[in-house]
Amino acid sequence: MKKKRSVLLDQYIQLLKNGNVVAFPTETVYGLGADAWNPDAVKKVFETKGRPADNPLIVHISNTNEVEDFADTISEDARKLMEAFWPGPLTLIFRKKPEVLDIITAGLDTVALRWPKHPLSQDLIARAGPLVAPSANSSGKPSPTKPKHVKEDFGDDFPVIEAGTTDIGLESTVLDVTEIPYRIYRPGAVSAKEIEKVSGQKTKLATPSSKDTAARSPGTKYSHYSPEAKVQWLPKDASIDPSKELYLLHSRSAHPTGENIIHYKGDYSRMARELYDRFRQADHLGMTSVFVESFSDEQRKESIVQALQNRIDKAVG
């Protein structure tokens, strides 16, 4: 089985080695990969996505030793995080080595690194990596969680390694370990609590709207993840009128039913897995709005709910 898969990967590996971009699955969302040591290949990532040049890229690696090729200093506490959460949905930001391409880091003195868990991504990166890999969507669109989303944005002939729907559905937690307290620029499946427990360091959730956050992690200042339909929070007691609108609920008891009303019944992981697909569906169905039931403070204690809150806030704008 493993051998067959490797043979299938050969053509994509060749494309990457020749300086092309290839979309591939990770456990979070589909990534748009390119050789992290080839500046022309990295440039193609920005061009393909229409990504602003000041938004740095995450470098994807396939073992912890590769960190040393990019990161200048690696503290003992950061090593504990690598051991506990890699491979997995945690991106770590380190001070960078001078040889890391400036186009990747957008001129910052730091570099973001992640070792993804999906077996296909691991094979691909081990054989063609390290790879820069932002989400494989046009800039501003929701991240792709299915191969068809990549093709919607980049065309039917675009090279995508197809592996069905991604498991988590929201992007990795982005954690800056260059200063104490550690800063979370983007909440994801790995929670602040787990990070604090493993590393012994305090964490702070960066305020997305602050100038300081935008300077340290420029991606936070861009509106992301939005469909054409207007995304809005649905307040606790607001009524539901399903004509031309999509409703994403998770906790309400009394509500009308209909195919435009999706109820996750407290299954936040499924809500996370489906969110971006629902956003895209809303556009295909010509919906004018997507209403998402607001989360309570209690619900926001769960890391996946924090991640949902962050992505939906960005889509609301």
Residues that bind Mg ion (CB under 5 A): 135
Q: What stretches of 171-287 show up as alpha helix (H) in DSSP?
A: 192-199, 211-216, 268-284
Burial of 221 (0-12, 13-18, 19+ CB in 10 A): middle
Query: Is the CB of 135 or the CB of 199 nearer to Mg ion?
Result: 135
Cα angle at 137 between 168 and 118, to 5 degrees? 35
Nearest to 94 by CA among 80, 74, 66: 74
Q: Encoding tokens for residue 309?
A: 């809150």
**Is 218 near ligand AMP (CB under 6 A)?**
yes
Q: How far is the CB of 119 from ligand AMP (least distance, A)?
A: 21
Burial of 229 (0-12, 13-18, 19+ CB in 10 A): buried
Query: Is the CB of 44 or the CB of 263 nearer to ligand AMP?
Result: 44
Could you say which residues in the range 42-61 bind ligand AMP, by CB under 6 A?
A: 55-56, 58
Could you say which residues in the range 141-200 bind ligand AMP, by CB under 6 A?
A: 171, 174, 185-186
Q: What is the DSSP letter of 169?
A: -
Q: What is the DSSP letter of 270?
A: H
Q: How far is the CB of 12 from ligand AMP (least distance, A)?
A: 19
Query: Is the CB of 9 or the CB of 108 nearer to ligand AMP?
Result: 108
**Is 217 near ligand AMP (CB under 6 A)?**
yes
**Is 108 near ligand AMP (CB under 6 A)?**
yes
Query: Is the CB of 60 or the CB of 250 nearer to Mg ion?
Result: 60
Q: How many CB atoms lie within 10 A of CB 255?
A: 14
**Is 111 near ligand AMP (CB under 6 A)?**
yes
> Interface residues with ligand AMP (CB under 6 A)?
55-56, 58, 93, 105, 108, 110-112, 134-135, 171, 174, 185-186, 216-220
